[in-house]
């Protein structure tokens, strides 16, 4: 009799669940050394609030959940975090009783979670997701309850010092305010970044007291508590100390900002963008720049700006939340905000494009020209000393020097329409609401208050009067 074989489909066995990661961001500190009315974590660095860099790094790591601990300045921090990602939530530390107390404030919110918990200080804007991945991998390789990230500083200043035993294992962390003179000579510091298994966290942290110079519950006491309970603690020494340094005052804020700007510059240069001087060019985090574009010194690219390929951005220019097409040339000292520039547009020098400006392909905007809520058609030009507001300019239009659209009557804004092929002479005023029809000419020095028909000549100025000999007589009277 044949033996009956049974087969079990592979799908009958559940796949092992990958280890999860939850991130806890400590963002309840007051930041007294910033001397600011706002939370230090809300201060902007290279286009984003400080704490947002930390939250974004946590999300990029693939965290199932990012929990942000906030305190007395909670509204500042919530707005700075800003993201509507459902993975991000908040909990409150009612009183500023230390980092350990801040973590304990999250106990209820983390109930039932069995992930590895990554604890990050919110004042680490330079922190890279690659560093967090390396730390997490190191932690899992060593299979310990707690891994902390350390770095070596020439001047450790106010950072907690890493105290190692005779085997070079981490024995404890001593805060600078509690350190002896000998301990203050130690250069290895605690960076405020921890990987801890949640099942080991709260039951041990509850043993921490507040017997220290600050009268606070220190998260760093967890090291000594675990060692006392015969548990191992690992330390991942990061080679780039600048990356993991917190921001506690305005000097450190400036240093961190410079680092972030340079990081963005290096990223763009590696992608084919030319910086004539990356040390003096400021491109914010969300900006995108096409290859073969050249950025001159003292250029500021802000917000969600997008530059196409093969552009030239002159020195002293600021471009904010604007889309610039391929092959555009922005000359020196221009300010451009919330605008759209088509291919091959040339702007400046000393031009000001205000919100809702739209320039089609080949438009030329020259020196001391200002636009606002204005669309300008292909190959039109306004070369000098002009204001175009609340207007629609057609294709192939010439706007003469000193032309003004008079769009505001003291109560309301009105629209000016200049159709294709119109020539507007210098020093003209177009009193809105008004329309100049296709192919017309407006004589220099005209004040246009009524519609100009197609292919017409409109001249609206006072008749010239000449009084011969008047100047000679006038001078005699003065003497």
Q: Which residues pair with 458 in a beta bridge?
A: 442
Query: Which has the closest alpha carbon to 33: 247, 290, 330, 352?
Result: 247
Q: How many CA atoms lie within 13 A of 159 on its CB side?
A: 27
Q: Classify residue 462 by burial, with Cβ atoms within 10 Å: 0-12, 13-18, 19+.
A: exposed
Looking up tokens 């006038």 gives 474
Residues 6 or more apart in contact with residue 110 via CB below 8 angstroms: 22, 24, 67, 117, 198
DSSP string, 36-77: -SS-GGGSEETTEEHHHHHHHHHHHHT-SEEEEEE-TTHHHH
For residues 448 and 440, what is the distance between their CA atoms, to the nearest angstrom?
Answer: 12
Q: How many CA atoms lie within 13 A of 149 on its CB side?
A: 26
The SS3 of residue 133 is helix
**C-beta separation of 350 from 330 below 8 A:** no
Catalytic residue among 35, 139, 352, 384: 384
Given the DSSP bridges, would you call strands 188-197 and 282-283 parallel, antiparallel or unpaired?
unpaired
Residues 6 or more apart in contact with residue 182 via CB below 8 angstroms: none
| Buried residues in 245-257 as b, exposed as e (16+ CB within 10 A) | bbbbeeebbeebb
Which pair of structure tokens corresponds to residue 61? 């790591």
For residues 15 and 122, what is the distance between their CA atoms, to the nearest angstrom?
Answer: 35
Q: Is 479 a catalytic residue?
A: no
**C-beta separation of 307 from 290 below 8 A:** yes
Task: Give, in degrees to the nearest 5, the angle at Cα 374 between 337 and 351.
Answer: 50
For residues 441 and 430, what is the distance between their CA atoms, to the nearest angstrom?
Answer: 13
Q: Which residues pair with 431 in a beta bridge?
A: 406
Dihedral sign computed on CA atoms, order 149, 116, 260, 256: negative
Q: Known catalytic residues?
A: 384
């Amino acid at each position: 009799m044949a033996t009956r074989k049974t087969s079990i489909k592979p799908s009958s066995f559940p796949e092992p669940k990958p280890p999860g990661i939850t991130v806890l961001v400590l963002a309840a500190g007051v930041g007294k050394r910033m001397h600011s009315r706002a939370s230090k974590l809300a201060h902007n660095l290279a286009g984003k609030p400080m704490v947002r860099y930390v939250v974004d790094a946590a999300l990029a790591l693939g965290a199932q959940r990012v929990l942000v601990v906030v305190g007395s300045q909670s509204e500042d921090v919530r707005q700075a975090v800003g993201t509507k990602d459902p993975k991000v939530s908040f909990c409150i530390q009612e009183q500023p009783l230390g980092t350990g107390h801040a973590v304990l404030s999250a106990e209820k919110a983390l109930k039932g979670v069995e992930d590895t918990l990554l604890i990050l200080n919110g004042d680490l804007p330079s922190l890279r997701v690659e560093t967090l991945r390396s730390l997490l991998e190191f932690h899992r390789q060593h299979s310990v309850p707690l891994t902390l990230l350390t770095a070596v500083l020439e001047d450790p200043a106010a950072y907690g010092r890493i105290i190692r035993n005779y085997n070079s294992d981490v024995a404890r962390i001593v805060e600078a305010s509690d350190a002896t003179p000998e301990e203050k000579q130690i250069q290895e510091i605690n960076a405020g970044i921890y990987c801890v298994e949640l099942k080991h966290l709260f039951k041990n942290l509850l043993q921490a007291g507040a017997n220290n110079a600050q009268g606070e519950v220190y998260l760093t006491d967890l090291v000594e508590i675990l060692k006392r309970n015969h548990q191992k603690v690992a330390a991942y020494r990061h080679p780039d100390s600048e990356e993991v340094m917190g921001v506690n005052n305005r000097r450190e804020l400036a240093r961190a900002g410079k680092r972030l700007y340079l990081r963005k510059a290096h990223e763009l240069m590696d992608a084919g963008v030319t910086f004539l001087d990356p040390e003096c060019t400021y491109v914010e985090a969300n900006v995108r720049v096409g290859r073969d574009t050249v950025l001159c010194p003292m250029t500021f690219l802000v917000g969600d700006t997008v530059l196409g390929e093969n552009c030239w951005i002159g020195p002293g220019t600021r471009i904010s939340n604007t889309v610039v097409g391929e092959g555009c040339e922005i000359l020196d000292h221009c300010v451009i905000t919330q605008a759209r520039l088509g291919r091959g547009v040339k702007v400046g020098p000393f031009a000001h494009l205000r919100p809702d400006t739209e320039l089609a392909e080949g438009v030329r905007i020259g020196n001391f020209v200002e636009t606002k809520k204005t669309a300008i058609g292909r190959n039109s030009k306004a070369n000098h000393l002009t204001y175009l507001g609340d207007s629609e300019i057609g294709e192939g239009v010439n706007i003469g020097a000193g032309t003004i659209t008079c769009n505001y009557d003291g109560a309301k804004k009105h629209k000016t329409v200049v159709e294709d092929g119109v020539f507007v002479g210098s020093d003209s005023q177009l009193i809105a609401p008004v329309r100049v029809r296709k192919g017309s000419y407006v004589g220099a020095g005209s004040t246009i208050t009524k519609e100009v028909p197609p292919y017409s000549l409109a001249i609206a100025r006072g008749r010239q009067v000449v009084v011969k000999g008047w100047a000679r007589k006038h001078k005699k009277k003065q003497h």
